[in-house]
Amino acid sequence: MIVIVDYDAGNIGSVANICRKAGGKAEISADPDRIAAASKLILPGVGHFGRAMERLNASGIRAALDAAHARGAPVLGICLGMQLLSGHSVEGDADGLGWIPGRTIRFDVPAPLKVPHMGWNAVRFVRPDPLAEGLEEEARFYFVHSYHVVPEDEGDVLGVTDHGGRVVAAVRRGNVWGIQCHPEKSHRYGLTFIRNFIEKVPGA
């Protein structure tokens, strides 16, 4: 069973829907005990990094996530959820989960490019990975974000896109994955990505 973490930070219903469409069983939960015991976890999210971390810490979900991560449960962070995997964000000057060493920064792009970065972008996966199987070299995903993750270790970079320069679109370190776009809004490419997480990654 996949647990989708509910911490009042986004439309988690659409994430549950794409999991079902991809053939998986997923439940939405804010219960730290259920989260800590999950075989797999999805950490979605939209909104403010600092406030999201405050909710995770105050609710006991942060400790549950750390426990699941420590025992090897696969975790997929989506959009803000990917940013929360990093060590620190300038948005709210807040520390994150720290599972992907690095920082989350705001876009600084020249005109006519805009912030937030919004729309369809090609994502190039830079190394083989179970979640990238079946995705052609220039798979397109839907993005809406003003901040992006800069990992300390280039080996954690899984996929890249472009918005005024190279942007890290996906990361992976051990049992932790993150994707900056919204797979649930990315049609067949997003469906393939989520199906891969369901079918090709063993649960803990």
Q: So which residues are the catalytic ones? A: 79, 182, 184
Give me 94's structure tokens: 């807040």
Residues 6+ positions from 202 with CB-CB distance below 8 Å: 74
Quick check: helix, strand or coil at residue 167?
Answer: strand
Name the helix (H) or strand (E) containing 100.
strand 100-106
Q: How far is CA 171 from the centre of its chain?
A: 8
Residues 6+ positions from 97 with CB-CB distance below 8 Å: 62, 65, 66, 69, 84, 85, 86
Q: Treating both helix axes as pointing N-terminal to C-terminal, what angle do 61-70 and 49-59 enclose, rounded to 10 degrees?
A: 80
Contact present, 131 and 172 (Cβ < 8 Å): yes
Name the helix (H) or strand (E) containing 17.
helix 12-21
